[in-house]
Each structure stands twice: as C-alpha cells, then as structure tokens.
Structure 1
Amino acid sequence: MLSFFHRLQLRFHTENKIVAYLLYAIGEIVLLVIGILLALQINNWNSRRLDQEEARKSYQNIKRQLLEDRIELGKVKDLNNYFAASYVNANRMIANKDVSKADSLALMIMGLSQYSDFYRSGNIYEILVNSGEIKLLKNIAVTSGLQKLEMTYTHLNKLEDIHWEIILNELSPEVRGAINYATLEIVKPEKLYSVEIRNFLIESLFLTQAKDSVYKKAQLEINQIIDQINSELKSQ
C-alpha cells in the first residue's frame, strides 16, 4: 500500500516537472517571438524614419531647384517682353516708312538677332525617376506636378527652337545684305523696310506672345508644386 502511494507521488512529481518544463519552454518561445516582433518593429520604424529623412531631403532639393527655375523664368520672361516691345516698335517704323529713322531701325533689328532662351537647373523629374528617389515621395500632387512641369518646359524649349530658326533663316540673311557689320553702315536701307523683315517681326511677335503664355504657365505650376512641398514638409 505504501509502495503504491510512493509510486503515485513520484508520478505526480514527474508530471509536475514536465508541466513546469513545458510552461517554461512555452514562456521562452513567447519571449523569443515577442523579442523578434519588437526587433522587426524597431527595424521597420528605423526604416520609415530613414525614408522620411531621405524624402525630406528630396523635397528640399526639389524646392531649391524649382526656386532657381522660377528666378530664371522671371528673367527670360522680362527679356521676352523687351523683345516683344521691340518687334512692335520696329514694325511700326517699317509700316510708317520713316526713312529718317533708318539708323535706329538698323540697330534695333540687329539687336533682334537675340531672343529669350530658358535654361533650367536640370530635369528634376527624370533625375528622380532614374535615381529611384521618386518612390520616397508620397505626395502624388508633387510628382504629377513635376511631370506636368516637364511637359511645359519641353513645349517652351520647342517654341524657343522655332524662334532661333526664324532668326537664323529669315532675319540674318536680310540683315547681312543691308548692314555692314564692321562699320554698322547701312548699305541697302530699302532692305530694312522689306516685306521679309516685316514678316519676320510679325512672326516673332506671335512667338513672343506664345512664349510669354508658357512662361506664365510654368511659373504657376512651379508655385503650385512649391505649395505642396511646403505642406508636406510641415506635416513631417
């Protein structure tokens, strides 16, 4: 009888040890899992923090480039307006056939061999795509705005290329036959009042008006993107 109770006691003791061991093992596993989850959470948090820092740097860099572009756009827009006024004045002189102002007309026309030409700081959208930084920018309004601005820049550059072509192909041949560049002497005054020169002035005036419209469009788009970037930076 005593032997039976002793065996029973040993059995309970053994089972208790097994249960205790199982509980201990389960506790260790739970702690291990919790540790892994915490490590993953911390790692994810650090990754998000680093991504946010990189995104912030990208937004600030984009803003800096856009501000540079906006300043340059303001300069070329003013220059474009100056040329537009010169086209109007030169066209008026030719229309009035005021030969007494031939010298002034000659100098004005020679100056019109120049034109407003926008040089941007860089292709922001393409750089973001090629570098992979665009994935960090969560504000869709910024990325889509940059893509739209790139199309506006492309349109503007095409207009500027057209302007240069008509200067090269239409104005230069006429001016070369009318003015001696070395002495600025007017060799053939009648060529300054020709229909070819006048047609060039009218074509160029239309181009300056088209360019002015695109300059304004680009400035507006830049302002909208900068507003979005400022809001994004404040929210971080």
Structure 2
Amino acid sequence: MTRFFRHIQFRFGTERKLSAYLIYAAGEIFLLVIGILLALQINNWNSNRKDREAAIKAYQNISQQLTEDRNELISVRDFNNYYSARYERASELIAGHAAEKTDSIAILIMELSQYSDFHRSENIYETLVNSGSIKLLKNSNITSALQKLEMTYTSINKLEDIHWEIILNELYPEIRGVINYATLEIVKPDRLRSVEIQNFLVESIYLTKAKELVYNKAINEIDTLGDEIAKELNHKN
C-alpha cells in the first residue's frame, strides 16, 4: 500500500514538474518573440529615421540647385531682354530710313551676334534617378514637377540652339562683307538696310520674345516647386 501511494506521489510530482517546465518554456518563447518583435520595430524605426534624414538631404540639395538655376535664369533672361530691345531699336532705325543713323545701325547689327544661353550644373531629375534618391521622394507632386521642369529646360535649350544656328548660318554670311569686324568700319552702308538683315532682325526679335516666355515659365515652375519642397521639409522636421 505504501508503495502504491509513493507511486501516485511520484507521478503527480512528475506531472507538476512537466507543467512547470511547459509554462517556463512557453514564457521563454513568449519573451523571445517579444524580443524579436522589438528588435524588428527598432530596426524599422532606425531605417525610417535614416530614410527621412536622407529624404531631407535630397530635398535640401534639390532646393539649392533650383535656387542656382533660378538665379541663372534671371540673369540669362535679363541679358536676352536687353538685346531684344536693341534689336527692336535697330528695326525701327532701318524702317525710318535715316541716313545719319547708319553708324548706330551698324553697332546694333553687330550686337545681333549676342544671344542668351542658359547653362545648369546638372540635370536634377536624372541625378536623382541615377543615384537612387528618387525613391526617397514620396511626394509625387514634386517628382512630377521636376520632370515638367526638365521638359521646360529642354525647350529653352532648343530655342537657344535655333538662335545660334541662324546667327551662324544667316547673320555672319550677310554682314561679313558689310562691316569690318576689326575697325567696325561700314564697308557697304546700303547693305545694312537689306531685306535679308531686316528679316534677320524680325527672326531675332521673335526668338528673343519666345525665349523670354520660356524663361519666365521655368522661373514660375521653380517657384512652385520651391513652395512644395518647403512644405515637405517643414512636415519632415
């Protein structure tokens, strides 16, 4: 009988130990899972923090580049507008048929070789794509606006290329034998009022006016972009 009770006591004791072990093991597993989840959460937090810091840096770089582009565009636009007014003055003098204005016309005709040429240090959108930073910019309005601005820049450069081509192919051949480049002496005064030069003046005025419109368009797009980036930076900070 004593052996029977000892057997029952041993069995219950073993079951209690097993239950305690299972509870302990479950607790260990629970703590391990919690630890893994916390580690993942911390890792995600660190990753998000790094992405946010990288995005802020990317937006700041874009903002700085846009500021430089805007300053360059204003300078180029002012240069363009100054000579546009000079071309209009030359056209007025030629149309007036004032013989005493020949020297003034000659100087203005020589200035037709001046043209505005916008240069930027880099292609912002292309640089973002190549560096992989584009994925950090979650604001689709900004990325779309950057693409639109690149298209506007392309339009600017195309107009400038056209302007240079007509200077090279139409102006230089026409005035080469009319004005002595070294002394600015007018060799053939009558040619200053030729149809060819008058037509070139009209083309130049048209091009400078078109360039002014596109310069202003780019400046307005930069201003809008700048506002969007400022809002994004304020939100992230």
Q: AA paired with 1:103?
A: D
1:54-203 alignment to 2 at 5 Å? 54-203=54-203
Q: Which whole-Å deviations, capped at 9, do the CAs of 1:118-170 have from their partners, x for residues lacking one?
A: 11121000000011000011111111110000000001100000001111111
Which residue number corresponds to residue 23 of structure 2? 23
How far the C-alpha of 1:47 sits from its partner, in A, is 0.5
Q: Which whole-Å deviations, capped at 9, do the CAs of 1:195-230 have from their partners, x for residues lacking one?
A: 000000101111111111111110111011110110
Q: AA paired with 1:106?
A: A
CA–CA distance in structure 1, aligned partners of residues 170 and 93 of structure 2: 19
* Contact 1:177/1:191 (8 A) holds in 2: no
How far the C-alpha of 1:180 sits from its partner, in A, is 0.8
Which residue number corresponds to residue 205 of structure 1? 205
How far the C-alpha of 1:7 sits from its partner, in A, is 0.9
CA–CA distance in structure 2, aligned partners of residues 44 and 188 of structure 1: 78
Which residue number corresponds to residue 221 of structure 1? 221
- The more displaced of 53-62 and 114-123 is 114-123
Q: Which whole-Å deviations, capped at 9, do the CAs of 1:49-72 have from their partners, x for residues lacking one?
A: 001101100000000000000001
| Partner-residue secondary structure (3-state), 1:186 | coil
Which residue number corresponds to residue 2 of structure 2? 2
How far the C-alpha of 1:4 sits from its partner, in A, is 1.7
CA–CA distance in structure 2, aligned partners of residues 92 and 172 of structure 1: 21
Which residue number corresponds to residue 43 of structure 2? 43
- Unaligned 5+ runs, structure 2: none
How far the C-alpha of 1:73 sits from its partner, in A, is 0.6
CA–CA distance in structure 1, aligned partners of residues 130 and 217 of structure 2: 26
CA–CA distance in structure 2, aligned partners of residues 75 and 208 of structure 1: 14
Q: Which whole-Å deviations, capped at 9, do the CAs of 1:71-90 have from their partners, x for residues lacking one?
A: 01111111111111111110
| Structure 2 length-normalised TM | 0.98
How far the C-alpha of 1:12 sits from its partner, in A, is 0.6
CA–CA distance in structure 2, aligned partners of residues 36 and 199 of structure 1: 78
| Partner-residue secondary structure (3-state), 1:149 | helix
- Unaligned 5+ runs, structure 1: none
| Structure 1 length-normalised TM | 0.98
* Contact 1:178/1:188 (8 A) holds in 2: yes
Q: Percent identity?
A: 66
Q: AA paired with 1:154?
A: T
Q: AA paired with 1:30?
A: F
- The more displaced of 171-180 and 148-157 is 171-180
Q: AA paired with 1:14?
A: T
Q: Which whole-Å deviations, capped at 9, do the CAs of 1:152-195 have from their partners, x for residues lacking one?
A: 00011000000011111111111111011121110001111100
| Partner-residue secondary structure (3-state), 2:177 | helix
How far the C-alpha of 1:2 sits from its partner, in A, is 2.4
After superposition, the CA RMSD in angstroms is: 0.8
